[in-house]
């Protein structure tokens, strides 16, 4: 599929009045893998990345997936409004006139199964949020988390352990 067609499909799905099931269909047609029983709200933006979303996941309004990197969102994940998943980064150069002009690289972002990403969270390039984590509103996740933890702040730090029921 061409880039223009993908961008057109993703633009069409972003309209606020679009029914969620039509939105998911358009997102699938754009080449993004979306699991069964997943619901995605309006203003979803993932124009250039390689994205897969697991089953029974809910993505609220205004998810931004930036860059051309790989992003994997697991099953049973909840993502609140205005979350940013960033895949693009670059080194800082020695030249003060071109600090941001270094070669861009793209690193994967992974949100494992059963996570809750609260409103206004930013997840930086190369980060994995391990299964069962909750990332509190406004946090910036700059490094991998450990499973079943509550992460808060800038940068996000583990505040507490969360209970984990073992499946038999």
- Domain of 48, CATH number, reads 2.160.10.10
Give the per-residue pLDDT at 164: 80
Residue 12 lies in a domain: no
pLDDT in the model for residue 103? 81
**Domain ranges, residue 91:** 32-161
One of 90, 130, 158, 159 is an active-site residue; which one?
90
Residue numbers in the chain where pLDDT is lower than 50: none
pLDDT value at residue 167: 55
C-alpha separations of 163 from 39, 98, 133, 149, 166 in Å: 26, 47, 10, 9, 10
The answer to whether residue 115 sits within a structural domain is: yes
Total count of residues recorded for the chain: 168
Q: Could you give the number of structural domains in the chain?
A: 1
Q: Is 90 a catalytic residue?
A: yes
pTM of the model: 0.90
Rounded to whole angstroms, what are the CA distances from 80 to 1, 68, 105, 136, 147? 30, 22, 27, 10, 19
Domain assignment present for 48: yes
Does residue 103 lie in a domain region?
yes
Give me the pLDDT at residue 1, please: 61
Tokens, residue 100: 């941001």
With respect to residue 105, please indicate whether it lies within any of the assigned structural domains: yes
3-13 and 20-29 are packed helices; what angle lies between their axes, rounded to 10 degrees? 170
pLDDT in tens, 87-117: 998 887 788 777 777 788 899 999 999 999 9
Does residue 47 form part of some domain?
Answer: yes
């Amino acid at each position: 599929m061409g880039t223009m067609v993908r961008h057109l499909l993703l633009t069409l799905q972003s309209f606020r009045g679009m029914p969620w099931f039509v939105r998911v269909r358009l997102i699938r047609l754009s080449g993004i893998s979306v699991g069964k029983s997943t619901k995605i709200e309006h203003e979803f933006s993932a124009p250039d990345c390689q994205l897969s979303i697991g089953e029974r996941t809910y993505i609220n309004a205004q998810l931004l997936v930036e860059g051309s990197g790989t992003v994997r969102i697991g099953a049973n994940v909840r993502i609140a409004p205005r979350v940013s998943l960033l895949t693009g980064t670059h080194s800082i150069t020695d030249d003060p006139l071109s600090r941001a002009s270094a070669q861009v690289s793209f690193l994967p972002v992974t949100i494992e199964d059963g996570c809750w990403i609260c409103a206004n969270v930013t997840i930086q390039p190369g980060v994995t949020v391990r299964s069962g984590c909750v990332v509190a509103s406004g946090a910036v996740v700059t490094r991998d988390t450990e499973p079943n933890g509550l992460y808060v702040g800038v940068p996000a730090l583990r505040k507490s352990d969360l209970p984990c029921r073992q499946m038999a």
